[in-house]
Structure 1
Amino acid sequence: MFYRKKFVFILAMLTSAFAQAQSPQFQVEVSADSVHVEAQYTVHGKTLALFNVQQTEQLPNGQAGFIRNLVVKDADGKPVKFKATEDGDWNLARGNQTVTVSYDVVAEHGNYRWPAGEEEVAYRTNDGLFFTGYALFIVPAEKMDTDISVKFSLPTGWQASTPWRATGDNQFQVYNRRELLVNAMFFGDAHREVLKEGDYELELVLGKNYANSSKLFTEVLRPMLKHSTELFGSAPKRNRYLIIVNEGASGDGGAFEGSFSQLINGPATENNRVVWGYVMAHELFHFWNGVGLAPAAETEEWFKEGVTDYMTSLLLYRHGVFNEQWFHKRLETMYTRYMIGKFYQRANVSLQEAGLDKQNQRALVYGGGALVAIALEAEMRKASNGEAGVAELLRAMYQELALQNKPYTLEDIRRLSKQISGYDPAPLFAEHVSGKGYLSLTEPLKQLGLSLAAFAEEATVTRDAAADELASKIHQKTFGL
């Protein structure tokens, strides 16, 4: 049985010593295959919860299925009865009080398939344990006090990597509940290094099988950090980020508040960097477009994901990380995704509606969003004689909205597009974002000095040898080549 007798003593200490505590405190003991959590906080209401529970066919209560030995006690050390719900909540018999909560988390999440992938939940490796806050911390559901303290107890030789502010050895201060939950962390003896750009730093955690390939990773990250900062006219809104890379079949990644996790299918090499390097750059770009610059609603997932797809590809090409052939292949992939999502999956929904069911409508959200970005690029550049496009739009949005902590709407995108380029995308959005019209890529690419040959979902993108003077100018202004 995982329960540790020494934590009976710790639980008693917490109950008495922290009875008057004003801020939440977590003490987390990590072992090679499980975690034990002792926490004290005030419950404003009557419910404890795991947030963002991802229900699966095998796990109807998602991450809550890995919680064991949950005990809740009041400030006097008396047990508080509770009833578990099917979606990762625990309703207390008595609420609105300071409680001490203890429980175990069995690290078997990687044995199951998750809607968004294990890289957005938790998994175990030979180097240690990966967790998101969603899978680790049971917290007050209605409201949680700020200035949260988290301290980890780890096996010898292990280290806790988090995006939070360190206050001691494996001890951190977390501002609020969102910071606690919407982040990734790693406990173990994996390879670590820190990249600095201006006044912020990025900690890179690599599974040991990738430690000797760290140069391949930094050759993608360094230019993306530099040129994304230039594009948005600002560093990310945080001064510290965490990237965790391990081996996994999905080859996908997930972005969080101040961190992202990535799985690579097999070894990391120069040859396959075109795949995992793109995923890494995409997730890094989300620190600006997605975290700092956030949509007001899921209906704008097409912009968060599709525009990120397009701009990540453009930056990697424009600044020499990958070549023109790779970039044209990325444009072809965007077209193919859109065709699959719209016609082969028979998704009779708009791009905005697809965002409400992102995982199932992934091809349409990403592919359709990228195609709208290309069309927007072409029209904005044409209207401004090549001077303003999607990059300038993102910069304007970031400066006006993100730095003021304002989420964006479709109207914001339309308004700023017109303001900086003279092109009003209202008809484009009405037909292809809010509406269900088919968006042809032939004319937008021609305006960008490119040529499309396509049949069904197959596509080939090349330079347009017959491009006129304006298209040639727009091509140079957009792609920098």
Structure 2
Amino acid sequence: MILSGFALSTHFAEANVILVPHNGSHSVQKPNNSPDQYRLEFSETTPKLVKIEAQITLKDSLLKMSDNGPMPYRWPQYIHDLCAYVKNGKQLKLHKRDSTAWIVNNVHKGQEIIIRYHVLIDHEKQNWPGGIDGVAFVRDWGITASGRSLFIINGDVKTDIEVLFKKPDDWEISTPWESVDPENTTYMVANQTQLLESFIVAGTQQEVKIARDEFNLNFVLGGDTIAKNKEHYVDAANKILDYYINLMGGLPKNSSGGKLSNVLVVINQSKEMDGEVIGDNISLFLNPEAAPQEQIISWFLFAHEFFHLWNGKSIRFKDTRTDWFKEGITNYYTLKALYNAKLVNEEAIKGVLNQLFYKRYINDKGLGKIAPADAASGFDKDNHWGLVYGGGLFAGICIDMQIRHNTENAHSLDNLMQFFYKETAGTDTLIGNQDILNQANLLAHTDFTGFMNAYINGTDEVPLNKYLEFAGIQASTNNKQLRLIHELGKTDLQQKLWRGFLGLN
């Protein structure tokens, strides 16, 4: 049966969906008080066009898309042919309220309506802050789309949402949601947040699961070369996962207090390299054929986004003034994780510190003018990547070295991360810069207020050499090149601090 160009598969009927034709429109009946249902159809011949039909029980008269992302007003730009119907098939009038919402005329709370629309996955024609990896795109092997880009919703608090898929026979569906049928075409989504803050992959991708207790890390691999190397990716991911669990003292937690059960890591083959976290899920562009130095960056992107499940998702922050910590400290532990997983050696770490971080830090147009705490305001951190990601990393190294030095390596930045995880992960508590300062002061038996005022809330250049001296390292910055040189005759404490820098103690 074809509904206004929307072909429905037989499993929709098996899910108690009854289609009644009338004058070119159709109605879907479902039990009273049943959850909202969405049905998505993917086509191999027109992969950029996703056809969606939804049955919605109205909380109000407003239809809307996600307000998350740096440019949420763009989501409706890719919605076409949106129509709404009552159960008897009569079409309802819609009008735009603003750039992200529509109003349905002459409806009431509790009324069931049907909406139909197409999403054109053509988002790459515009530049998106943070990159297309967290938005929606089509590749030869299929479609990757965030829930933000696909779903029109109603109301603010809805649970137990059903999502059904129709796809070509040789395609697979990958989502972080729970499948409720053997064919993996019907899924139950806990709430609207998980509906919007997720990724859907439809195509010929491969999927591999890594499990730790109730935590499942689902790797979705798109592209022939990526898929051929899946054992390599899985082995590396296992090592990185174990490092992070041992470091933090547990698995990632969500804000409701529960442990995350399913996390999707989507790795798409690309000439570009980028990464994005949406909700509890990760989207990566990796180039498996890149030069060795670029391969290191690929692994760095994965491990960085992965650690955000702890530093950013389990430990959550008040505002963008802490982005230096969320991004910079994540960079620090990413390097440690890669070293412990034997994906990089010490020389590679030095190269990344110089070529990736120091160069972008020292050449950031905001250095000396904008404080790192202010550099991420208004989703502007991509314009001041050096200050936020590089400056935050160097500040984190300095704080770690000072804590270790003052306590003869009995305490470190690790303890600060463990404290925040233990005390705040899975709660509504949000961390601010004052919380970071207070805990660092307690661990180091000193006062970092001057440090924070100068290098986080102020515009001074982070004095890396002063603090790496505690580990017996000379940090030369001649000619805007960061070179780390081991001093001769290191003390036992200096050697311990350098091993701590590498994540070995």
TM-score using structure 1 length:
0.90
Kept in 2, the 8 Å contact 1:42–1:144? The answer is no
Using the TM superposition, give the Cα deviation of residue 82 of structure 1 relative to its aligned residue in structure 2, in angstroms: 2.4
Equivalence for 1:89: 101
Q: Which of the residues 135, 149, 152 maps onto 2:162?
A: 149
- Which range moves more in the overlay, 346-355 or 101-110? 346-355
**Seq. identity, %:** 24
Equivalence for 1:47: 62
Q: Which of the residues 169, 173, 180 maps onto 1:167?
A: 180
Deviation per residue, 1:6-33 (Å, 9 max, x gap): 4699765884523723422111112231
Is 1:443 the counterpart of 2:457? The answer is no
Equivalence for 1:114: 128
The CA distance in 2 between the partners of 1:173 and 1:194, in whole Å, is 19
- Which range moves more in the overlay, 75-84 or 405-414? 75-84
Q: Which of the residues 193, 203, 212 maps onto 1:188?
A: 203
What are the residue-to-residue correspondences of 1:69-88 with 2, within 5 Å?
A: 69-75=81-87, 77-84=89-96, 87-88=99-100
Q: Which of the residues 277, 282, 291 maps onto 2:313?
A: 291
CA pair 20-287 structure 1, distance change in 2 beyond 3 A: same
What are the residue-to-residue correspondences of 1:162-311 with 2, within 5 Å?
A: 162-168=175-181, 169-209=184-224, 210-237=226-253, 238-265=260-287, 267=289, 272-311=294-333
Q: Per the alignment, in what secondary structure is the counterpart of residue 159 of structure 2?
A: coil
CA pair 6-152 structure 1, distance change in 2 beyond 3 A: closer
Using the TM superposition, give the Cα deviation of residue 112 of structure 1 relative to its aligned residue in structure 2, in angstroms: 3.5
CA pair 107-3 structure 1, distance change in 2 beyond 3 A: farther
CA pair 221-5 structure 1, distance change in 2 beyond 3 A: closer
What is the letter of the counterpart of residue 261 of structure 1? S
CA pair 463-143 structure 1, distance change in 2 beyond 3 A: same
The CA distance in 1 between the partners of 2:495 and 2:117, in whole Å, is 63
Q: Per the alignment, in what secondary structure is the counterpart of residue 403 of structure 1?
A: coil
- Which range moves more in the overlay, 198-207 or 458-467? 458-467
The CA distance in 2 between the partners of 1:239 and 1:217, in whole Å, is 20
Unaligned runs of 5+ in 1: none
What is the letter of the counterpart of residue 416 of structure 1? Q
The CA distance in 2 between the partners of 1:20 and 1:191, in whole Å, is 38
Using the TM superposition, give the Cα deviation of residue 350 of structure 1 relative to its aligned residue in structure 2, in angstroms: 1.8
Q: Per the alignment, in what secondary structure is the counterpart of residue 301 of structure 2?
A: helix
What are the residue-to-residue correspondences of 1:20-59 with 2, within 5 Å?
A: 20-32=32-44, 33=47, 34-52=49-67
Q: Per the alignment, in what secondary structure is the counterpart of residue 175 of structure 1?
A: strand
The CA distance in 2 between the partners of 1:7 and 1:473, in whole Å, is 64
Deviation per residue, 1:244-263 (Å, 9 max, x gap): 11123431011122321111
The CA distance in 1 between the partners of 2:449 and 2:70, in whole Å, is 38
Kept in 2, the 8 Å contact 1:53–1:64? The answer is no
Deviation per residue, 1:416-463 (Å, 9 max, x gap): 223344343232222222232322211112123322111353211232
Q: Which of the residues 8, 18, 43 maps onto 2:30?
A: 18
Equivalence for 1:132: 146
Kept in 1, the 8 Å contact 2:273–2:284? The answer is yes
The CA distance in 1 between the partners of 2:220 and 2:198, in whole Å, is 14
The CA distance in 2 between the partners of 1:172 and 1:5, in whole Å, is 20
CA pair 107-293 structure 1, distance change in 2 beyond 3 A: same
Aligned length: 475
Q: Per the alignment, in what secondary structure is the counterpart of residue 147 of structure 1?
A: strand
The CA distance in 2 between the partners of 1:397 and 1:53, in whole Å, is 26
Q: Which of the residues 407, 412, 424 maps onto 1:401?
A: 424
Deviation per residue, 1:297-351 (Å, 9 max, x gap): 122111111110111112211442210001112222322222122xx35673222
CA pair 126-173 structure 1, distance change in 2 beyond 3 A: same
Unaligned runs of 5+ in 2: 10-16, 254-259
Q: Per the alignment, in what secondary structure is the counterpart of residue 361 of structure 2?
A: helix
Is 1:352 the counterpart of 2:362? The answer is no
What is the letter of the counterpart of residue 302 of structure 1? W
CA pair 54-427 structure 1, distance change in 2 beyond 3 A: same
Using the TM superposition, give the Cα deviation of residue 398 of structure 1 relative to its aligned residue in structure 2, in angstroms: 0.6
What is the letter of the counterpart of residue 160 of structure 2? D
